[in-house]
Structure 1
Amino acid sequence: MSGSLVAQENKQVARTFWRFAIPSIIAMLVSGVYQIIDGIFVGYFVGEQGLAGINLALPLLSVIIGLGLLVGMGGGSVLSNFRGENNTQAVSRTLSTALYLMIISGVIISGLLLIWGDMLLHMQGGKNAPGGDYLVIMSYAAVITIGSSAMPILIRNDNKPTLATQFIVIGALLNIVLDYALIGHFEMGLRGAGIATVIAQLLTCLLCLGYFLRGNDSVSINLVQYDRHICLRIMQLGSSSFVMFLYFGFTLSLHNTLLTSYGGLNHVAAFSIVGYIASLYYFFAEGLAGGVQPPVSYYQGAKQYHNTLRTLKIATYVIIGSGLLMVLVINILPNIFTSLFTNDQALTFIAIHGLKLHLFTLYLDGLFFLVAIYFVAIGKGGAALFVSLGNVLVQLPFLWILPKYMGIDGVWLAVPLSNLVFACAVIPMFWRSVNQFKKTDEPYLV
């Protein structure tokens, strides 16, 4: 292939990538920002107990969000593959099957959390663990939370990334207004935070349902089109995203338990602040990785493997470079970040100490997001599951051993040190897969 044609195709691939990545990044960042704003209102109007309460509830809520991503990422990957094959009937069946999964999984997890939620809170933070009111409200609304996570991803994979972002932004703006009213003005505390989140998510769900129910040239919902085989494929491809959030919830729960044991609820509150700050990068990285999935799934269906490689090259540079930049800024200007959530000097000191220890390998988390989504996009659900599940398992010995010898610092350091170890397995695995595409499409990569 001539140099001019390669350059032209590179530009086209880059435009396609950013057309999906930018709305996905904006959507994830907006979602992150309104969660951070939740934390800001809770930090200043409820205080240390409120921050600790949300952090204790998050491991349980991560299961709900993970189910939404399971349906969204798995269904989106299947949908994009069928779009690449121009199979509109299969696209419609995929969407209808995904809707069934949202409802069924939401009802099941809602019941489980209402039964076991309080006990799981107390296991992390002791008998007087805060966060119960927030968890109850979010548990009742599990179907809504799952739908607000999954449906924008499906719309994005229906080649409408900007519209999907608009629906998320509208919900996020409503959440910010309701946070101000219910937490700041009416002083409803964590109950207000939960109610504000649910109402905002409901609006996003209704906007997405309106898009699908009115139908269009490419896709529409037909509730009699449930397909068992597509359901299994969605679950297979989406399982890595689900496990990624289970990992997040499980390790967060372990951190909460260990921080309570070695430090107290003030360390759990500090960990909440660290989590909000880290989420600025996590949501960017997840958004960028999510933007990779639709074009790569399409290229896979169309057998344009050379374009898959070009897309991955852009995404890898951006995701690692932005992570390194975030680590640098956090270490130079930590007070700017912590002051958003608290003016308590003791809590600020603990949070800054935690920031510097806990986030120094932040960029590797972004790489793991990208690799997992890449394997989903090319239909290798098992490899994606390995990346997600392995990231959980490798942390366990670090969380078990380090606190025994290093105390509270061992809790803060467990994740970054385990990331370094796990990267030694993930990077070669990613490299081998990329090299297979290179061998297939060498004539295109001149």
Structure 2
Amino acid sequence: MLAGSAALFGLTAVGVGAGRAAAANHPALRAGYRFLDTAMDVHYPAYGELRLPQSYTDEAGFYASAYTADAALAALAYLADGTDASVARAKTIGDSLRYAQEHDPAYRDGRLRESYTVGPYDNKNGVVQANGFVQPDGLVNAGNVFDHSGSVTGDQALAGLALLALARRGLGAAYGTAAVALGDWVVANCSSDSRLGGFRAGVDRAGAALTRTDTAHNAVLAAFFGQLAAFTGAKVWTERRDKATAFVTAMWQGTFYASGSYDGVLAAAFPVTTEAQTVPVLALRSTARTAGLDYVTSALTTTDASASPNSVLTAGQTATGVTFSDWSRQADPDQPIEPGLSRPDPDAVWYAGSAQLAAALLSRGGTGDRTAAFTHLTALVDVQARFVGGRTAGAKPAPTGEGLIAASGPLHTGVAESGYYPYRHVGTTAWFLLAASGRNPYALDRKPPV
């Protein structure tokens, strides 16, 4: 445990908010922000001012991929920091997301892609990609080496929240206009008229509608639409917020939220995911059921060790935290998570989930919640200090002790072919910075304390 950590996390007797001003200068947070800076600057200035942070360090094998959700979380973390330099970086991310909306190679309807390529690479199969985020023809470099080029509902909402936060800072009305366009795209393309309602998960890389309706996505949409209602004054966004909220409410199973529905008619009780418990508490706040947080603690907590299948931990090392889903624990250790990538460690810890759980526990504020949150956050400080998880980003050094790895080992989400890996990750680091600062990315932001 780092000296002064209690002050860092604001978990003193005088309340969560009291420690935020001091927390901003704590070494663990400054180290996290330095990693975000590194991830943003890996291909700049060679490829222009517009850019998004490269999501993973190079060793993860995602090359110059920037995922929209990671970029949005980074922008929100920068705004939570509130320094002039951090706000300027948040503005650059917002400008780049706006540019992506307006310069997509195939669409002009307000959507954002799941990922973008932000710099050149020469992959192990001999594929050479020579461009940055903005290509020579002025269009954005949509998708990445794995063709993650669909549009996910939750990503639109998270990006919209970041854009609205920029607009509320008085940094330009265009950010609000871009956020409205994201909301309009979701409503036009993802609204479900099935029995459970809500909004579907998005569209795939071919533009075909995804049939799944996701609990966490709808919770973030509810927060986003609620903020659009406040920002625009238009009642229709309140109605859309209520539609998303009603879906989340319908997913309650008595002790946890179902992760969503595959057909819009029946709740899919399995897999049970951590984010389906944490995100509603943060996004819906007083209207959310909170017992799912206890379910995460009791049923979705895991301990990784060097003896675990496919573990990357060394002898004597252990890691404890939450996993992504109950099906993560059942992943076949002999089958790669994604083609060409690692085989899963069923005991791996998902560190963004640990940060989410800490933030949600602080939001709930019940007996013992603050102590439990402190335990998770202190563990994340230790993870940042101890686990290297990749040494370069864009072939440039990524200093040790800056930024958090996404997982303690290769972790299968249990949902399709997707996973998290033991390499430093922008989204995980941003979640840590937000939770450790006592900030809720789905709530209306407040002026940083002095």
Q: TM-score, normalised by structure 2?
A: 0.30
From the two aligned structures, give the one with the greater strand fraction.
2
Q: TM-score, normalised by structure 1?
A: 0.31
From the two aligned structures, give the one with the greater helix fraction.
1
